[in-house]
Structure 1
Amino acid sequence: MRNGAVPGSALFVTHDEDDRSLGFAEELRAGTRAVASNERHGARRADERMCRFPQGFELARLEYARPLN
């Protein structure tokens, strides 16, 4: 792990039509510390879905969104 990355996490940055930066974070629901951090810093839950892995198990994945500027 580098730069504070958490296993099972992903961060995406995009811009909306007004050129505002939006951050999207994906976390595994089981990553309670990462989920709590997103919610504590004002991110809103945008989506929840199940991820199916080739090994035969499933984990819930949460997507969070928040403005960056």
Structure 2
Amino acid sequence: MKCARCGSENVSVQTEMVGGKAKLRKTGCLWSIGRLCLILCTCGLWLLVGKRKGTNNIKYKNRTVCICQNCGNKWYLN
């Protein structure tokens, strides 16, 4: 791979994280019904146990970056 500016082959290739999206996955209705049953069966003692939180799914977007070590030119590969 050659640099377009200086023609050098001293090029490093790296991946760069551009951005990400977080998608929250909430708890289902069966979890809520089961929790309500446990609260009723234990006369409210189950309220001392904390609620279950949802899980996050994060998807990252990456792109490849080439940087010339001689002149510092930076370009992206598709």
So what's the TM-score if we normalise by structure 2?
Answer: 0.26
Which structure is richer in relative contact order (CA contacts within 8 A, separation 6 or more)? 2
Q: Is the helix fraction higher in 1 or 2?
A: 2
**Which entry has the higher C-alpha Rg, 1 or 2?**
2
